[in-house]
Structure 1
Amino acid sequence: MSRSAPVGLLLALMVLLVGCRSAPESPSSGSGERAPTASRIWSTDGPPDVIPPGLENQPDPVPRVEPRGARGNPKTYRVFGKTYRTMESAEGYYATGLASWYGRKFHGRSTSSGEPYDMLQLTAAHRALPLPTYVRVTNLENGRTTLVRVNDRGPFHSDRIIDLSFGAAYKLGFAHRGTARVRVEVWSPDGAPAAEARSDRVLAEVPAPPHRFVLQAGAFRNLASADALKASLERLTGSRAYVVRVSNEALYRVRLGPVESEAEALRLRSLIIDANLDEPMIIRE
């Protein structure tokens, strides 16, 4: 649709409500890799001057098998004094929380993956998922859903789980507000939730059968590192943690749970993040 004056004014005003993106510091010594470079301080961002007709109806990107990017995937990086760890695999990722968006201030600039940012395309930034990764994002307030390609790092606010392009936020119906509560799940190239996702998941706001939830807090190639994180999680949460060997990937995954409710899983996830013990992903069993 063409932008009208009231809509443009409203979108411009909403910039004040949208979160900050920040410039990563240099990675800690010994990492041997540069930190992601795309996320910067957001002070004067906003929507495009003209919103193309039909932007809310643009088709989803088609997931395809892509190699892990050479850029944007250091094992760790630092932002505002906090260390973030990137995930070796996106398998089974599932999370709910707040999404924000970023727009014209970053249009044309390089993303963490090295690709130019196009605010009208269906892309996203995530703190930990491998770049690139395809995820399905559902606005839990109106049921709208879209696939996006994650090719950037951010947002660096602990209360937000993903930063969407303006085009994605517009398609999901919250560009005028700045943030929305969403569900995010990894999507595979065959058009289905990735490996550990179940066929009975729903993408609309309809009742779902009861599930239990597990938090995956880390994945290591060294068993001693996995055991150390397991012990730290149990001390912090008082809940059972365990290590799972993934033989075909030579990885040791550290998991916590299961718990009976998503609310409890989200509480534990926040507790772990606040203790700087990585950023767990929630897996629905």
Structure 2
Amino acid sequence: MANEPSVNTKIMHFPSALSKANTILSSLLILGLTACGTSKSAFTQTGQGSYYADKFRGRPTASGTPYRPSKLTAAHNTLPFGTRIRVTNTRTGRSVKVTVNDRGPHVKGRIVDLSKRAARKIGLVDAGVAPVQLKVVRAAAGR
């Protein structure tokens, strides 16, 4: 038994592999908790926000509903459809509550795409892209 390596010694031989595995497992756990509703009310995120171009009017969103610029809706890459979020333009301090009904944005570094009406309410239309913070205010029903 004296010649057998301990568990700690074995782990120390693969620190980068374990680090990557722990990072992946942690990410999956966070995503899983968010997806099943356990920690949605505590979910906040900061990054760049933008809004839909007018050319998308009437086109189906990922949830199946058509995009309507006059509605208070948003696209987010991971939050379930029907989730209500508060998006705050950190430059202006103005915020708006929107419902997630689409996937996106599909541009690196952006965390949310807003409908034109929502973007107008927080002063995002003229800027096009602005720093925002989003917070879940109500988890999607039945998720």
Give 3-state SS (helix, strand or coil) of 1:187's partner: strand
List per-residue Cα deviations over 1:118-145 (Å, max 9, x = no partner). Answer: 0121100001111121000111001111
Tell me the TM-score normalised to structure 1 length: 0.35
Shift of 1:177: 1.5
Instruction: Pick 1 or 2: higher relative contact order, CA cutoff 8 A, min separation 6.
Output: 2
CA distance in 1, matches of 2:123, 2:61: 24
**Counterpart code for 1:125:** A
Say whether 1:143 aligns with 2:93. yes
The alignment status of 1:88 with 2:38, answered yes or no, reads: no
Structure 2 stretches lacking a partner, 5+ long = 1-30
Partner Cα separation in structure 2 for residue 125 and residue 155 of structure 1: 6
Relative to total residues, which structure has the larger helix share, 1 or 2?
Answer: 2
Q: Residue 125 of structure 2 aligns to a residue in which SS?
A: coil
Match of 2:60 among 106, 110, 114: 110
CA distance in 1, matches of 2:50, 2:93: 17
Q: Are 1:99 and 2:49 matched, yes or no? A: yes
Q: Does 1:124 align with 2:74?
A: yes
- Partner deviation per Cα, 1:157-185 (whole Å, 9 max, x = no partner): 22111111111111111201110111100
Secondary structure of the equivalent of 1:162? strand
Query: 2 CA distance for matches of 1:103 and 1:89?
Result: 31
Query: Structure 1 unaligned runs (5+)?
Result: 1-84, 190-285
Query: Is the deviation greater in 87-96 or in 147-156?
Result: 87-96
User: 1:166 is aligned with what amino acid?
Assistant: K
TM-score for both structures, normalised by structure 2 = 0.68
Deviations 1:93-127 (A, max 9, x none): 10011001113111111110011110121100001
Is 2:118 the partner of 1:171? no
Quote the Cα distance in structure 2 between the aligned partners of 1:148 and 1:156.
19
Equivalent residue, structure 1, for 2:83: 133
Counterpart pick for 1:184 among 108, 114, 134: 134
The aligned length equals 106
State the distance in 2 between where 1:171 and 1:124 align.
Answer: 13
Conserved? CA contact 1:89–1:129, under 8 Å: no
Deviation digits for residues 71-99 of structure 1, max 9, x if unmatched? xxxxxxxxxxxxxx885235121001100
**2:11 corresponds to which residue?**
none
Partner Cα distance (1:180, 1:89) in 2: 30
Cα-Cα RMSD:
2.0
Identity %: 45
Letter in 1 for 2:36: S
Question: CA deviation digits over 1:44-96, x for unaligned, max 9?
Answer: xxxxxxxxxxxxxxxxxxxxxxxxxxxxxxxxxxxxxxxxx885235121001
Q: Is the 8 A contact 1:89 1:130 kept in 2?
A: no
> Is 2:101 aligned against 1:154?
no
